[in-house]
């Protein structure tokens, strides 16, 4: 007997508001198969029926479950259904489509979701990519105080204290929470978009350079043509430049005399 895995998974997701992990689903299908085998054995013992004549469900592998979930996710997106299937840190979950969020909010009588300020978003990004990170490191990157933004993130449980850094004074370090993953809609931190700005190595290098003494930048470094060094010019070049200045000066003087004559 073959099980319709996709419809079974859809029914399971509809039956609960909690996320279901792959591990839990594998155990569930395994237990279903074992229960069917035990029931067949009991039927055989009680009716003396040949066990080979009893149709048993086929075991379901983890790869089949993952493929069925992927198909359900694509079907919800392509078919523009009223729900979506998302994968978060706790597993797979069936949620309403974003375009119906306002109706669901009104039905439940819930307030509008609070949006994060630009300062809070910037601070949250630094914590996400740099964690574990100290308050001083966050302020060094942003260039301003992060007290208000950090307190807001702690209040919303998007950020939490992870421990203390092995630095003088043992400053507190911060990291993101599972609620942050739900807030951003990603499974784990590895799913964060690649960043060329907030990576540990590049920021460390940038901060190190900021502590170094300033270095003189030449015109060539910024793409400008270099000015000739008078001490290195040949003698005839000096005279040629002098003649050009003299000619222009005489021309300007002649123009002034002509103007005064006209008046």
Q: What is the predicted pLDDT for the residue at 10?
A: 93
Contact indicator for 19, 93 with CB cutoff of 8 Å: yes
Is the Cα torsion angle 216, 220, 222, 225 positive or negative in sign?
A: positive
5-108 matches 118-211 in fold: yes
Q: What is the predicted pLDDT for the residue at 142?
A: 87
Q: What is the predicted pLDDT for the residue at 183?
A: 84
Q: What is the predicted pLDDT for the residue at 217?
A: 44
Report the CATH fold assignment for 118-211: Arc Repressor Mutant, subunit A (1.10.10)
Q: Which phi and psi angles does 4 have, rounded to 5°?
A: -80, 95
Is the Cα torsion angle 118, 122, 125, 131 positive or negative in sign?
A: negative
SS3 151: helix
Q: Where are the domains of the chain?
A: 5-108, 118-211
- What is d(CA 251, CA 183) in angstroms, rounded to the nearest whole number? 74
- What is d(CA 218, CA 240) in angstroms, rounded to the nearest whole number? 27
Q: How many CB atoms lie within 10 A of CB 186?
A: 18
DSSP annotation of 83: E
Give, to the nearest 10 degrees, the angle between helix 22-47 and helix 62-78.
Answer: 120
Instruction: Name, in order, each residue with C-beta under 8 angstroms of 98's C-beta and a sequence gap of 6 or more.
Output: 84
Q: What is the predicted pLDDT for the residue at 233?
A: 46
Measure the N-to-C terminal CA separation of the chain; round to a whole number of Å. 114
Domain 5-108 has CATH 1.10.10.10: yes
Q: What is the predicted pLDDT for the residue at 218?
A: 54
Q: What are the residue ranges in the chain where pLDDT is below 50?
A: 214-215, 217, 221-224, 232-246, 248-249, 251-263
């Amino acid at each position: 007997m073959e099980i319709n895995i996709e419809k079974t998974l859809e029914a399971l997701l509809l039956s609960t508001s909690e996320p279901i992990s792959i591990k839990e689903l594998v155990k569930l299908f395994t237990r279903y198969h074992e229960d069917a085998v035990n029931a067949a054995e009991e039927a055989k013992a009680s009716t003396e029926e040949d066990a080979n004549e009893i149709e048993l469900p086929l075991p379901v592998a983890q790869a089949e479950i993952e493929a069925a979930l992927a198909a359900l996710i694509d079907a919800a997106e392509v078919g523009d259904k009223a729900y979506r299937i998302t994968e978060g840190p706790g597993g797979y979950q069936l949620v309403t489509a974003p375009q119906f969020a306002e109706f669901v909010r009104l039905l439940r009588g819930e307030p509008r979701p609070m949006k994060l300020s630009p300062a809070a978003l910037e601070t949250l990004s630094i914590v996400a990519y740099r964690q574990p990170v100290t308050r001083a490191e966050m302020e060094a990157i942003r260039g301003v105080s992060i007290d208000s933004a950090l307190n807001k993130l702690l209040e919303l449980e998007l950020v939490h204290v992870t421990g203390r850094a092995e630095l003088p004074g043992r400053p507190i370090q911060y990291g993101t929470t599972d609620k942050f993953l739900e807030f951003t809609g990603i499974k784990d931190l590895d799913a964060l978009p690649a960043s060329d700005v907030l990576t540990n190595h590049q920021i460390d290098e940038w901060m190190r350079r900021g502590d170094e003494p300033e270095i003189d930048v030449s015109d060539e470094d910024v793409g400008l043509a270099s000015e000739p060094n008078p001490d290195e010019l040949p003698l005839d070049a000096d005279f040629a430049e002098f003649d050009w200045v003299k000619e222009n000066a005489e021309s300007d003087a002649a123009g002034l005399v002509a103007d005064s004559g006209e008046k």
